[in-house]
Each structure stands twice: as structure tokens, then as C-alpha cells.
């Protein structure tokens, strides 16, 4: 057995050297990786680094840690559950954490959703949703309806079916275009959330559905906010009309609320902005308050019973489906959210983001500023050097992880006014730096 592997008592340099040489982090090179920061603790909105510095997390651990870190109620839920049962297979068995979680989810999601399929991660919940849509039409005797329709600019995950419905050209998965299933795409809605609705933005969607509806099983979209595909906020009327077109041409509507769910946009779920009900909804990320991976795919009675007619069964079953530990934490996370005045908090965050970020509109490096709920975005004119930006932000005492041309934040809801101002100031400082010729 090798004896030269690092242990927890090794120096910071030794740990980071091993990390750089052997651990492959997301969206980076194995031979020339982006620099990493060694985190030793997390509490509230702060990450504590190995050198003792504390930085404000503007990302909520990829949008999931809505209550911040080391939350006492969530900690207690995890400790209590692990002493009882950390995991048991979900095939043929069930448990109260899963039942209570699903009861809560059905109470707070659109009324037509009556069945919950628990999954491991957001990407898997999308895979499940796509399989549900295809199997639904097969159960109805229509094998021709097997393709998905997706919006350009969208992002739905990194697994293969999920990749197939992400933007095929500008998305992060263009390398796999020849390997993934070919789906149908329609133009990104160019009707901004904060402007008057222009019906012309529906023309391509309507034409695409009209021409291809015989082979389309479902339209999948991120409601109101396209997340990792570009942080684009579009008008609720587009979503409302998309629901009507799906009904008219017999497509299922899949709402990917993985990033937008649980209050992030100012509504508990983003589809509420248009007052629509999807046939299938995907949720994840903030479901456990960032404590561990858990997701779910919710389906209407029509979809679930359609698949199950004549003895049909849904063909999916993750090993860690319905993990009791994750479910118990999710129950407490939802309780913590719903018992708080989260709407007021999101409104306050939104107001502050607009106040602090709008000053960047005049900077030469900035193409656009967008704010919705607890999401703040600076879109730059040029691609952002992630390594350079991360180092700058850490020196400013904050954690912001840009991608593409976007410098954005989705902070924990518990962030206070002073902390949020510090994060926004770091963002505008960096944009100002990029606006100077010598930068």
C-alpha cells in the first residue's frame, strides 16, 4: 500500500500540491487547473480559508446554501437522523423523512403535481423528467413523440440526456454534440423580464412547435431565469404562452426549477410569475439547504397514471434514491425557509443588488446589468479570466466565481446589508479594473 498520500495533519502546501496534481475539479484542466482555495470551515455566510482569512460567499455553494453554513437547525436534523438510520434502499422500503418531505413538496408546488420521484442530483432529475415524458407517450401508444424541445441559451445539467437539451452551440457541452441525442431547439426568448412584452418573441417557438409537434414529447425550459446558460431573465408572458402552446399541440411542459426553486427569484417557484402549472417539475440545489445532494422530479396525475396504466412501471431507480439523511435535512431546510419571512428578505436583497450594481452600467467593460430576486449579474463585453478574477475577489474578502462573460452572485438569503454591499463593491471594483486600459 502507498504510504506517501497526504493526511489531515499535512501542511497547507502539501495538501494543495496533492489537490493540484491529483484531484480533478469541475470545469478545469487536469494538467493546468484553476487555482483552488483550501477551506477549513464555513459558518453563516463566511468561508474560512486555511490561512485564517474569512471571505463572504456570494455563490451560496452554487446557489444551494440558502440558509448559510453550519445552521444549527439543519445540523440537528442531520445528527438526529444519522443516529437512527443514514440510508436504506428505496425499493420496497420507505421511511418517514421521505414521506414528510414529499408531503411538504406537494403542499408548496403547483396543485396539479401529485407524484414525487426522488433523485440524487439536479442532472438526474432532468434525466428522469425526460424519461417520464418519453414513456408517457409510449404508454399512450404514440412512439413517434420522443424528442425534446428546448430553448437556446438553456442549461439543464451535465449528464447525457440533460446535455442534449442544453444550448447545442454556445453551451458548455458543444464538445459532445456528435455523441448526444439530437433534440429540437427554439430561439432564446429575447423579451426581457423588466421590459414590456413583445409578442414577436413567441414566433419561433410557435413555428417550431407547429412544424414538429408530432415528434415532440415535451418542451423543457428554465422558467423566467436561464441559469448557467447565460443568467438571462425573460418575461413571464413568454412562459404563459409556452404553456398554452404545449396544451394546443399536445406537448408536456417540463419546468426545470433546479436553480430557481425555493424563493431565489422572489417567488417560491419561478413558474408562479406566470401563474402556470407544468406537467413535470425538476427541483434540487437548495432543497437540502446545501447540506448534501438531493433532487426530485414531480409529475402530474395525468403523467404518472399515464405511464402506469395497464401495469406499466417507470424505469428508473437510483441506489441512493430517497436517502433518509438527505430527506431529513431537506424537511428541516424547507421548514426553516417557510417559517421565515423569506419574501421580504429576497425583496430587500433585490433592492440592494439594484442599488449597488447599477453603478456599473456606465463602465466600458460592462455590457449589461441584470437583477432579479436574489440574483445579481454583471455581463461583461469580454470573457472573464476566471483565475485572475478569483484571486482578485479573495483579496477583496469575497468569493465570486465568474463564468464566460458573466460575473454574478446568488448569495445565501441570510446575508446582511453590510456583507452584501461588500460583495457588490468587489464586483464593481473588478469591472472598473477591467475598464482601465492597463488592465
Question: Contact, 249 vs 209, CB < 8 A?
Answer: yes
Residues 6+ apart with CB under 8 A from 150: 156, 165, 166, 183, 184, 185, 186, 219, 220, 221
Residue count of the chain, please give it.
Answer: 439
Q: What band does 439 get if pLDDT is binned at 50, 70 and 90?
A: low
**Candidate list 120, 158, 256, 279, residue with the active-site label:** 256
**Candidate list 69, 155, 234, 413, residue with the active-site label:** 155
Q: Which residue has cell 463593491?
A: 425
Active site annotation includes 155? yes
Q: Indicate whether 113 pLDDT > 60.
A: yes
Domain limits, the chain: 37-70+341-435, 73-338
Can you give the pLDDT at residue 3?
A: 44
Q: pTM (2 decimals)?
A: 0.95
Answer yes or no: CATH 3.90.1150.10 is held by domain 37-70+341-435. yes
Return the CATH architecture of domain 73-338.
3-Layer(aba) Sandwich (3.40)
Cα(227)–Cα(193) distance, integer angstroms:
14
Active site annotation includes 256? yes
Residues 394-421, mean pLDDT to the nearest whole number:
98
**Candidate list 267, 285, 408, 430, residue with the active-site label:** 285
Cα(221)–Cα(224) distance, integer angstroms:
9
Q: Indicate whether 159 pLDDT > 80.
A: yes
Can you give the pLDDT at residue 1?
A: 43
For 211, the grid coordinates are 412544424
Average pLDDT value over all residues in the chain: 95
Helix (H/G/I), strand (E/B), else coil: 350 = helix
Q: What is the pLDDT of residues 348-400, one digit of tens each?
A: 999 999 999 999 999 999 999 999 999 999 999 999 999 999 999 999 999 99
Q: Indicate whether 176 pLDDT > 90.
A: no
Active site annotation includes 107? no
Amino acid at each position: 500500500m502507498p504510504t506517501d498520500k497526504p493526511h489531515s495533519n499535512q501542511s497547507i502546501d502539501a495538501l494543495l500540491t496533492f489537490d493540484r496534481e491529483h484531484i480533478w475539479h469541475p470545469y478545469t484542466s487536469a494538467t493546468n487547473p484553476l487555482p483552488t482555495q483550501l477551506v477549513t470551515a464555513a459558518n453563516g455566510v463566511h468561508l474560512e480559508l486555511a490561512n485564517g482569512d474569512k471571505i463572504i460567499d456570494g455563490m451560496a455553494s452554487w446557489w444551494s446554501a440558502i440558509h448559510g453554513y453550519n445552521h444549527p437547525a439543519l445540523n440537528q436534523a442531520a445528527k438526529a437522523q444519522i443516529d437512527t438510520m443514514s440510508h436504506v434502499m428505496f425499493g420496497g422500503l420507505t421511511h418517514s423523512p421521505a414521506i414528510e418531505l414529499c408531503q411538504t413538496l406537494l403542499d408548496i408546488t403547483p396543485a396539479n403535481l401529485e407524484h414525487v420521484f426522488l433523485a440524487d442530483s439536479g442532472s438526474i432529475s432532468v434525466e428522469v423528467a425526460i424519461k417520464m415524458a418519453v414513456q408517457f407517450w409510449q404508454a399512450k401508444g404514440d412512439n413517434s413523440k420522443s424528442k425534446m424541445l428546448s430553448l437556446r441559451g438553456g442549461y439543464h445539467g451535465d449528464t447525457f440526456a440533460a446535455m442534449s437539451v442544453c444550448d447545442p452551440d454556445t453551451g458548455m457541452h458543444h464538445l459532445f454534440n456528435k455523441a448526444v441525442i439530437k433534440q429540437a431547439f427554439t430561439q432564446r426568448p429575447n423579451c426581457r423580464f423588466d421590459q414590456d412584452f413583445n409578442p414577436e418573441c413567441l414566433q419561433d417557438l410557435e413555428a417550431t412547435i407547429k412544424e414538429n409537434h408530432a415528434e415532440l414529447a415535451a418542451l423543457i425550459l428554465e422558467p423566467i431565469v436561464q441559469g448557467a446558460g447565460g443568467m438571462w431573465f425573460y418575461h413571464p408572458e413568454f412562459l404563459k404562452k409556452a404553456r398554452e402552446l404545449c396544451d394546443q399541440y399536445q406537448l408536456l411542459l417540463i419546468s426545470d426549477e433546479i436553480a430557481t426553486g425555493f424563493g431565489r427569484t422572489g417567488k417560491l417557484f419561478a413558474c408562479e410569475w406566470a401563474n402556470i402549472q407544468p406537467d413535470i417539475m425538476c427541483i434540487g440545489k437548495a432543497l437540502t439547504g446545501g447540506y448534501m445532494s438531493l433532487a426530485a422530479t414531480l409529475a402530474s396525475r395525468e403523467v404518472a397514471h399515464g405511464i402506469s396504466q395497464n401495469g406499466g412501471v417507470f424505469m428508473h431507480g437510483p441506489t441512493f434514491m430517497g436517502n433518509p439523511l438527505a430527506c431529513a435535512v431537506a424537511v428541516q431546510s424547507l421548514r426553516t425557509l417557510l417559517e421565515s419571512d423569506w419574501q421580504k428578505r429576497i425583496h430587500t436583497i433585490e433592492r440592494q443588488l439594484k442599488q449597488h450594481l447599477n453603478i456599473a452600467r456606465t463602465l466600458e467593460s460592462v455590457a449589461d446589468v441584470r437583477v432579479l430576486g436574489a440574483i445579481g449579474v454583471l455581463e461583461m463585453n469580454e470573457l472573464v479570466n476566471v483565475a485572475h478574477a478569483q484571486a482578485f475577489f479573495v483579496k477583496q474578502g469575497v468569493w465570486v466565481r465568474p463564468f464566460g462573460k458573466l460575473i454574478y452572485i446568488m448569495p445565501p438569503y441570510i446575508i446582511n446589508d453590510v456583507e452584501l454591499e461588500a460583495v457588490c463593491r468587489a464586483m464593481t471594483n473588478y469591472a472598473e479594473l477591467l475598464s482601465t486600459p492597463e488592465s
